[in-house]
Amino acid sequence: MAPSVEDILNKVPYDPEGVQRVAHRRVKNPIEIVEPDPSWPKTFELLKTRIISALGPTAVSLEHVGSTSVPGLPAKPIIDMDLIVEDVLDEAAYVPQLEAAGFHFLLREPGWHQHRFFCGYEPSANLHVWGQDCSEAARHKIFRDWLSKTPADRELYATMKREASAASRKANESMDEYTERKNDCVRQILERAYRDLGYIQ
């Protein structure tokens, strides 16, 4: 089941107060942007094989998203992935299996698309788990596909990422604060992507 266009356009505000912390990262990733690495897609494929083997039919789909999924885009050297499962509320169907495969369950966010979040350490990865009708996962794919085919916005986003990471490091900010610095730029780019898809005029 795919989300409607209306759901995609009506972004649910992120609320950090809604985080249910399960664990903390054993290794903290620095907010550092590096030049594009042609090995990132291959790393994703290795992780995908590990995840699909662990979950079997519970995994509906797995997408490489985030900046490492966009050819030519500088990024933090962390592979971002969106995993769609049959029933995100049925944690017994995927949490133990993912942890056995090397992914550390960090948090759940019931009020934000029932998001579950895991990290991987070797290689460094962020794994987002969603239900089948998740509009946030759809937005991630739209953003990835638009940047992949639009050099001007790819360069705009790269510049913003470098500026935001430098400012966040200087201010000793968290990853959430770094993300907040990019939000206006992301919103503007998504609007152009939505217009290209005919979602808005």
Question: Domain holding 113: CATH number?
Answer: 3.30.460.10
Q: How many domains does the chain have?
A: 1
Closest CA to 161 of 186, 126, 196: 186
Which structural domain range is residue 151 located in? 5-197
Supply the pLDDT for residue 135.
Answer: 97
Closest CA to 60 of 130, 143, 161, 157: 130
pLDDT digits (tens, 9 = 90+) for 110-134: 999 999 999 999 999 999 999 999 9
Supply the pLDDT for residue 16.
Answer: 85
Block residue for tokens 């985030």: 66
Do residues 73 and 154 touch, judged by C-beta distance below 8 A? Answer: yes
This prediction has a pTM of: 0.95
pLDDT digits (tens, 9 = 90+) for 36-73: 999 999 999 999 999 999 999 999 999 999 999 999 99
Phi, psi (deg, nearest 5) at residue 82: -110, 115
Beta strand pairing call for 115-120 and 103-109: antiparallel
Q: What is the rounded CA–CA span in Å between residue 53 and residue 95?
A: 14
Which DSSP string do the residues of 83-102 spell out, in sequence order? EEES-TT-GGGTHHHHHHTT
